[in-house]
Amino acid sequence: MVQPDLQTVRLSNGKEITVHTHLFINNEFVPGHGPLIETINPATEEVICSVHSADEQDVNAAVNAAATCFKDTWRKVAPAEKARLINKLADLMERDRDELAILDALDNGKAFTVARDVDITDSIACYRYFAGWADKIHGKTIDTTFDKMCYTRHEALGVVGAVIPWNYPTMMAAWKFAPALAAGNCIVMKTSEITPLPAYKFAALVKEAGFPAGVVNIITGYGHTTGNYLSGHPLVSKMAFTGSTATGRKVMESSSTSNLKKLQLELGGKSAQIVCADADLDQAAEWACGGIFNNHGQSCNAGSRILVHESVHDQFLELFIKHTKAMIKIGDPFEEDTFQGPQISKAQFDKILNYIEIGKKEGAVVSYGGKRWGNKGYYIEPTVFTNCHNQMRIMREEIFGPVVAIAKFKTIEEAIDIANDSDYGLAGSVYTTNLDTAITVTNEIKTGTMWVNCFDVFDQSTPFGGYKQSGFGKELGKYSLQEYTQVKVVKILRSSKI
Amino acid sequence: NTGLFINNEFVTGAHTIDTINPSTGKLITSVQAAETEQVNAAVDAAEKAFYGGWKQSNPRERSRLMHKLTDLIERDAEDMAQLEALDNGKPFGFSYAVEIPLVLSQLRYFAGFCDKLHGKVIETEGKLSYTVHEPIGVCAGIIPWNVGALMLAWKVAPAICCGNTIIVKTSELTPLSALKIAALVKEAGFPPGVINIITGYGPTAGDALSRHMKISKIAFTGSLPTGRAIMKAAAETNLKKVTLELGGKSPNIIFDDVEDLDKAVWYSLNGIFAIGGQICFGGSRLYIQEGIYDAFLEKFKAMAAARKVGDPFNDREAEQGPQVSETQLKRVLSYIESGKAEGATVYHGGVRKGDTGYFIEPTIFTDVKPDMRIMKEEIFGPVVAITKFKDEKDVIAQANDTTYGLAAGVFTSSIKRAITVSNALEAGTVWVNCYMQVDSNSPFGGYKQSGLGRESGEYVLQDYTQVKAIKINIGL
């Protein structure tokens, strides 16, 4: 007996909701042929329900649906109509904002209020931003020689594959869907098997908005099976991947052995926040706190290293801990005042606690937190390590949890060197009131985003993406359109002389 | 000069490689070759140069140096063209009148761009948000043997323009013109380590470059299998950015409403037989509409038959020289055999010319079927496969039925057909009523498995810079 698509799920407050559990292909919810995968509520450690996953046959079906739709339908739809559909989708997400937020909170463990006010709100803004680009994707005319008419077209790629992580289920989907659709592509997206539920609710809205069948296809499954079939598929012209650096390598290798599909990788980070002696320390402490503890530390751009000028270290630390205590209320995701919910899974929970042990063994000092919180759910206290140096594993390896490592520096040159002494280069910040320091430091750090006197401030219009082994390619902003188009130049000769 | 050009000096390599004159099969000279140790030395030099002042160099100074280098190449253009003709076998006239001028125009185009690399200011709430387009750092270029001097320019020009330093590995088959340019790099006054030029084998020196942890970007022009290997190597090491310009099996479509038949024949013929067919965008599949088929084929065959194949030095009339090496000669001849074995008709040519040197007659196959190897695989020789077609829709499907997507040609006098067909073709460049028109300011690169990224034009700057977004809180 195949598990039916709709399943009833009970929330911790007693409320019941209905969720889709089948694959979304060609505007229909269809059974998958991969194994049933249980999705766990990280706040209770209990199974929410099982979902269908995609095997190779299902991936083929999804890709073929997208390819057929692109060829026969989607590429012929006028850009303004594409914009209208994307805006309609945003309207429906707005209508069902709470329901989407409930699913993000339930499946991921983030606070419902955060899911509603940050994740879903920003996702809606992302769709609206890119809807506006759909009819503004311009080629150029290029004056080469007098006898030629030469122009470029920025064409859609066709079928785009996307693999997204579990840390911002709805928002990571938006960052891929929005530019891909605006640029005229059809998509097959594999969600994380850890957080499959939100995207299936979103899928129902895609159909309701009126997108032709096959434009958006959403499946789930394991990376090494489902993800792998997608990365290697000959009809997929591009893979957009957000996740670990280790898996990013596999996606790139897969492209090299299959059809050299275009790639975009958004990988890990170990971003440094630099606090200068002339910083407004209280402000810096507040921003820095959010910079590491937002989303329970489960952000690729988390400011997980804080470098503080030795003259203000102790003062900063005191303020940092003060803000941590004030800001970080740990609790059930559905409680109104919860800031921090549980970590995503047992595996992550164990990994983070292990890093805390490693930090202690390496000689760092736990100045705050350092333990599990409560005895049910994967909760970990916000944890502050001091007395760190940049060769420690807790300063070099991505922990992906609410653990920050604080080190001192003497000169700004030293801080820059420490910040750059990493294989990663995703984000970073500097806190200073001095103009020269701000410009110099932002110029010198090898990273894709630098915040000055703030952290984690995102806009739909500014590009986001890493240097070095944090990946390549940009999301958000006009820059991301380059990732979802290919350039054709047409050169027409009109003279009759050879 | 025959050394490895590292840090503005010609130095000894790990061993030497002989370079052969393909017109005679005889040795020209031996050059120094790099292995891992020399690659490391080149990377060190490039890295030191980048952080030692080049990264902060004034863009106008970069521009001045690029212009100076270009002027020197222009001064020595005849020598350069002769080296290309000697080492590669292409006619001197082609190198002097076509290739070297393109080298000059590419360098001058990008010399003019150095101080025009703009980021953006983006309106966001409570902040000053802006982007800067920074140099990537140490870049590598691996270039092929067909138009060595031009490929060197296509890698060096945008890399230097954007403030990077670079190591270029030339093909071990045609190292000489690049080494001549190397001497001019020093004469122009580039600081040591900014431009390094080495040669070596792909599996050793090329692999070392692909895997080097301090190279942040690699640009490769060459074969598809090597392109895959480079991407794989990047995946296994530091995820360096990879751009690839690979092979092609480009379709050239002649409609029966072509305006000027003689012109179409001339472009089509040169579009496949230039440089002995050793061009990535060669129009190697020729589709002729049935109404014009006989007339076109007669003129095409006549022009092929009249084509002068000979030693580019001893025969100044030669329009086509030898294939670059014995290996390539054998490869092309074996494709000709496969065409015959699969049932295609040799309409003209189909044989080696002479016993010395690697010359092949311009070869025309007719009665071809889409699944023949000569229709599917890149031959990289003077061999064209001709298909008769009925209608537009059918020929577009046939033209697109390939894993490649580098270029295409369309000959028609109808504006509607020109635009409709060029829109439908899955190719990075579509030429209408011409072929092989290369300009330094328009982008060049492949769809599908012909590659990733674009060269020339403003588009290439994206691949030689990295974007940083900076957001300064002024009111949050």
pLDDT digits (tens, 9 = 90+) for B43-74: 999 999 999 999 999 999 999 999 999 999 99
Instruction: Residue window 248-267, chain B: list those with CB within 8 Å of chain A.
Output: 259-260, 263, 266
> Å from B228 to nearest chain A CA?
5
Tens-place pLDDT, residues A25-58: 999 999 999 999 999 999 999 999 999 999 999 9
Work out the average pLDDT over B130-159. Answer: 97
From chain B, pick out residues whose CB is under 8 angstroms from the CB of A140. 458
Q: Among positive and negative, which fits the CA dihedral B268, B270, B275, B281?
A: negative
Tens-place pLDDT, residues B365-382: 999 999 999 999 999 999
* Residue A386 near residue A317 (C-beta atoms within 8 A): yes
Rg from Cα positions in chain A: 23
Which residues, 6+ apart, have CB-to-CB distance to A369 below 8 Å? A380, A381, A382, A383, A384, A402
Residue A389 has pLDDT above 60, yes or no: yes
CA distance B9 to B14: 16
Q: Any CB–CB contact under 8 A between A469 and chain B?
A: yes
Q: Any CB–CB contact under 8 A between A277 and chain B?
A: no
DSSP annotation of A475 reads: B
Kindly report the three-state secondary structure assignment for every residue of A345-364: CHHHHHHHHHHHHHHHHCCC
Residue A498 has pLDDT above 60, yes or no: no
ipTM higher than the 0.85 cut: no
> Å from B432 to nearest chain A CA?
5
Distance of CA B125 to the CA centre of its chain: 46
> Å from B134 to nearest chain A CA?
9
Task: Output the pLDDT for position A391.
Answer: 98
From chain A, pick out residues whose CB is under 8 angstroms from the CB of B418. 492
Work out the average pLDDT over B349-356. Answer: 95
The number of CA neighbours under 13 Å toward the Cβ of B70 is 22
The residue to which tokens 């994307």 are assigned: A86
Which residues, 6+ apart, have CB-to-CB distance to A187 below 8 Å? A66, A159, A160, A161, A162, A176, A177, A180, A181, A215, A216, A217
DSSP annotation of A464 reads: B
From chain A, pick out residues whose CB is under 8 angstroms from the CB of B236. 249, 253
CA distance A342 to A349: 9
Residue B166 has pLDDT above 90, yes or no: yes
Instruction: Residue window 343-382, chain B: list those with CB within 8 Å of chain A.
Output: none
Q: Do residue B437 and residue A423 have CB atoms under 8 angstroms apart? A: no
Query: Which pLDDT band holds residue A497 (cuts at 50, 70, 90)?
Result: low
* Residue B463 near residue B135 (C-beta atoms within 8 A): no
What pTM was estimated for this model as a whole? 0.88
Helix (H) or strand (E) holding A246: helix A245-257
CA distance A199 to A217: 10
The three-state secondary structure class of A29 is: strand
Q: Do residue A452 and residue B473 have CB atoms under 8 angstroms apart? A: yes
> Å from A256 to nearest chain B CA?
5
The amino acid at B301? K
Residue A376 class from Cβ within 10 Å (0-12 exposed, 13-18 middle, 19+ buried)? exposed
Active-site residue set of B: 245
Tens-place pLDDT, residues A240-262: 999 999 999 999 999 999 999 99
Q: How many residues does chain B have?
A: 476
From chain A, pick out residues whose CB is under 8 angstroms from the CB of B470. 442, 449-450, 452
Task: Output the pLDDT for position B394.
Answer: 95
Tens-place pLDDT, residues B299-311: 999 999 999 999 9
Work out the average pLDDT over A59-67. Answer: 98
